[in-house]
Amino acid sequence: MAQILPGESHTFGEYLFIPGYTSEECIPANVNLSTPLVKYRRGEETCPITLNIPMVSAIMQSVSDDRMAIALAKEGGMSFIYGSQSIEDEAAMVARVKNYKAGFVVSDSNVTPDDTLADVLALVEKNGHNTIAVTHDGTPNGRLCGIVTGRDYRISRMTTDIAVKEFMTPIEKLVTAPDTTTLKEANDIIWEHKLNSLPLIDAEGKLVYLVFRKDYAQHKDNPQELLDAQKRYMVGTGINTLDYEKRVPALVEAGADVLCIDSSEGYTIWQKKTLDFIRAKYGDSVKVGAGNVVDADGFRFLAEAGADFIKIGIGGGSICITREQKGIGRGQASAVIEVAAARDKYFEETGVYIPLCSDGGIVYDYHMTMALAMGADFMMLGRYFARFDESPTPKVMVNGTYVKEYWGEGSNRARNWQRYDLGGKSKLSFEEGVDSYVTYAGPLHDNVAKSLYKVKSTMCNIGVTNIPDLQKNSRLTLVSATSIVEGGYHDVTLRSTTTNR
């Protein structure tokens, strides 16, 4: 008969923290959430790559593109751009992140003079902002003809088939600057002329960047930006275990800071072959994570294969149905606890510390603190980031509520069969993910700040101000079903939203 592991499989929601002593120093402003992303040896002064916040975005079509990567890097985290696309397209996304200059924006909303108001409105709905560049060919770097903002049209007084050239602000009436203008000079021009944006154009009149008034304040508000040695935003990207011999060189050439093997299950020969190729070709200069695993054996396998970090979790994602379809997986809390113990043992034996990424199972913000306390160094989040303006999917209204589309990589919509390949298949035989909606939540910056403030506040209640101390000093207790009910509101009648205002 099969080996039956002792104990039950637990999730984060089955635990509570026991408060510790809170000193005067234990305030949210003093909490440091920096954490290692890749492995390092005992005695090394610094980890080769350190996150400023313990959050990375999932390797998913509906979550992580170059726009998400820039937004999350501004906060101190890292995105892993999805790999279920052509090698050329993925490399181009990586390159756009690495070539992005803080404050200098490549226009993502562009039309031609002959396009219509309907095209403008579609871009506003898709990208969530009203500044649209009018270029001769509708590309981000075409010859600039004008700009369209919300002040240039009124839907109630115009037909949607009117040409853009009829209502745009033409270039003759715009304040522009050469593409050699520094950010300080650009901001001075913006303030002097009371502009909301400033186009930077080259000698041929082609649009190169836009500089926005609002970005000046945002840049000041992001002191934890995750930057490389050349002051560029850092970005991760996903790879698979099939075309890695072609995909990896292209992504490295594009400037990817970290790679991650994207697979539903990492305890396989295919991941070892992929890691062997990367180590043979690049040595330790290319950083690559692997996974996913849920026990000590899986961790040890990937550690010895050369992974720089290891992802934990099978079937715990909100759109994942691997457990339902295959009966494979483990409660996320139990998986993190066992793998973290294996990581600590490996560190004692070898002097090599391999960071752990908890992937899946985060429903509430406090689950992030749970994952960190149980031994994870950072979390990979999908549903959480899919809700924000910066995710790749459109914002749509369903039943009177704004939502964003969110689908699993194992769904028929994504058709990412490479993620579930077991040696030679070229299609999905059955789905391991669903196609869904998540409630729209607004901008990433505001939501991440709120979530991390909760994490910091909880850490202060425990009596710690950094993640290593959280892992060493926190105390957890399992809760009963009745305790879980007691933890929410009960035995009261909620007042209406209107009454509470």
CA separation for the pair 393, 402 (Å, rounded): 12
Given a contact cutoff of 8 angstroms between Cβ atoms, the answer to whether 244 and 274 are in contact is yes
Given a contact cutoff of 8 angstroms between Cβ atoms, the answer to whether 144 and 134 are in contact is yes
- Catalytic site residue from 47, 260, 320, 460: 320
Residue 247 among the catalytic residues: no
Given a contact cutoff of 8 angstroms between Cβ atoms, the answer to whether 63 and 88 are in contact is no
CA-to-CA separations, 500 to 400, 401, 494, 495, 497, in angstroms, rounded: 21, 21, 9, 7, 5
Residue 333's DSSP bridge partners are none
CA separation for the pair 474, 109 (Å, rounded): 48
Q: Residue 342: which of 300, 306, 370 has the closest Cα?
A: 300
Residue 47 among the catalytic residues: no
- Catalytic site residue from 67, 96, 247, 419: 419
CA separation for the pair 24, 16 (Å, rounded): 24
Burial of 171 from C-beta contacts in 10 A (0-12 / 13-18 / 19+): middle
Q: Which residue is associated with the tokens 């031609």?
A: 112
Q: Residue 199: which of 180, 173, 174, 217 has the closest Cα?
A: 174
- What SS3 class is residue 222? coil
Containing 99, the helix (H) or strand (E) segment is helix 87-99
CA separation for the pair 159, 56 (Å, rounded): 44
**HEC profile for 404-468?**
EEEECCCCCCCCCHHHHCCCCCCCCCCCCECEEEEECCECHHHHHHHHHHHHHHHHHHHCCCEHH
Residues annotated as catalytic (active site), given as ranges:
320, 419
